[in-house]
Amino acid sequence: MIYTQIGKRIKLQRVKLSKTQDQLAEEVNISQKYLSQIEIGKSKPRVEVLIKIANALGISLDYLAQDILTDTNNIHINSVILNMQVMSKDEQALILDITQRFREFSERKK
């Protein structure tokens, strides 16, 4: 769901700038097929790729991810979710382990 909206915004801005998928893909050093998958929400690009795309299109990451950043009370949680969605399973497991250990540590201090 999140990536479908991000992809739609990328495509909207790309078309607005009269760029083809081939042109944008070349600018950000990815394949046209991968960009197509991003635009339809079938690929979950790493943050580094989203940054390159946003820069090439002259838009911000906030604009791309506005659906998950709408609740300012949960902005940190939303940021973690966005970052974890583009991580490998091993990276996600490590982050989960770290947060669980931190919570356990915090509870022992109470």
Are 57 and 86 part of one and the same domain?
no
Percentages of the chain per state (helix, strand, coil), in multiples of 5? 75, 0, 25
What's the confidence (pLDDT) of residue 78? 66
Give 92: exposed, middle or buried? Use CB within 10 Å, 0-12, 13-18, 19+: middle
- Structural domain of 83: 72-109
| Count of domains observed in the chain | 2
pTM to 2 decimal places: 0.63
Are 60 and 76 part of one and the same domain?
no
Are 53 and 86 part of one and the same domain?
no
Are 52 and 15 part of one and the same domain?
yes
Q: Crossing angle, helix 47-57 and helix 2-16, to 10 degrees? A: 30
Identity at 45, one-letter amino acid code: P
Are 41 and 76 part of one and the same domain?
no
Are 60 and 15 part of one and the same domain?
yes
Q: Which residues of the chain have pLDDT under 70?
A: 1, 67-76, 78, 110
Are 43 and 91 part of one and the same domain?
no
CATH of the domain at 26: 1.10.260.40
Are 57 and 79 part of one and the same domain?
no
Are 10 and 44 part of one and the same domain?
yes
What's the confidence (pLDDT) of residue 8? 92
Are 15 and 54 part of one and the same domain?
yes
What's the confidence (pLDDT) of residue 96? 87
Are 7 and 26 part of one and the same domain?
yes
Tens-digit pLDDT profile for residues 86-106:
778 898 899 888 988 888 888
